Amino acid sequence: MPLYEYYCEPCDGVFEALRSIKEASEAMPCPVCNRDSKRMMPTSFAAFTFRDGYPRRIPDKGTYWHLGKEVKNLITGPVRPNEHPEINKPEPASRKLKGDLAIERERRRLERQAKAVEKKEQEAASAAYEARIKKRPPQLDV
Ligand SMILES: [Zn+2]
């Protein structure tokens, strides 16, 4: 069954109810005062961004509504349009701090150093191997 929204005028509140499409347009008793409440059109949903100055949610949990999503706090700082910090979590800053950059540079330098050492060791090992082969007395075929 679809979820519909109803508005109770005496309580100045909005509540949701699961109803069949056939019943949806009929009045729904308010869960607080039991009076008939009219169905709200989904288009009016966006108006319930803030609780202050707008109808509250029934049952009232002290939360706010932002574009149909429940949030605990009002928007306090500047945000992009239609975004709420609790819903649209800001992406972690991709810009690295100076300290991070220095660490990254040092890490790459050590990596290069390790690779150079490894290459030298390999070269030394293969040189030693070749020297050993050359020194080895000729083997007799059995
Ligand atoms: Zn009511």
Q: What is the 3-state secondary structure (H, E, C) of 51-69?
A: CCCCCEECCCCCCEEECCE
Going from the Cα of 39 to the center of ligand 1, the distance in angstroms, rounded, reads 13
pLDDT score, position 47: 45
Going from the Cα of 121 to the center of ligand 1, the distance in angstroms, rounded, reads 82
Q: Is the four-CA dihedral 49, 51, 55, 58 of positive or negative sign?
A: positive
Going from the Cα of 30 to the center of ligand 1, the distance in angstroms, rounded, reads 5
Q: Is the pLDDT of residue 28 over 80?
A: yes
Going from the Cα of 36 to the center of ligand 1, the distance in angstroms, rounded, reads 8
Least confident of 3-7, 35-39, 114-118: 3-7
**Protein residues within 5 Å, CB atom, of ion ligand 1:** 8, 11, 30, 32-33
Kindly report each contact of residues 101-107 with a partner whose C-beta sits within 8 Å and lies 24 or more positions away, as own/partner. Answer: none
pLDDT, tens only, 67-101: 667 777 766 666 666 677 777 676 666 666 777 88
Q: Quote the CA–CA distance of 21 and 1 in Å, as a whole number.
A: 8
pLDDT, tens only, 1-22: 788 888 888 888 888 888 998 8
Domain boundaries, the chain: 3-71, 93-137
Q: Is the four-CA dihedral 60, 64, 66, 70 of positive or negative sign?
A: negative
Q: What is the mean pLDDT of residues 34-61?
A: 66
Q: Quote the CA–CA distance of 29 and 37 in Å, as a whole number.
A: 6
Going from the Cα of 37 to the center of ligand 1, the distance in angstroms, rounded, reads 7
pLDDT score, position 90: 64
Global model pTM greater than 0.85: no
Q: Give 36's strand partners.
A: 29
pLDDT score, position 11: 85
Q: Quote the CA–CA distance of 24 and 57 in Å, as a whole number.
A: 19
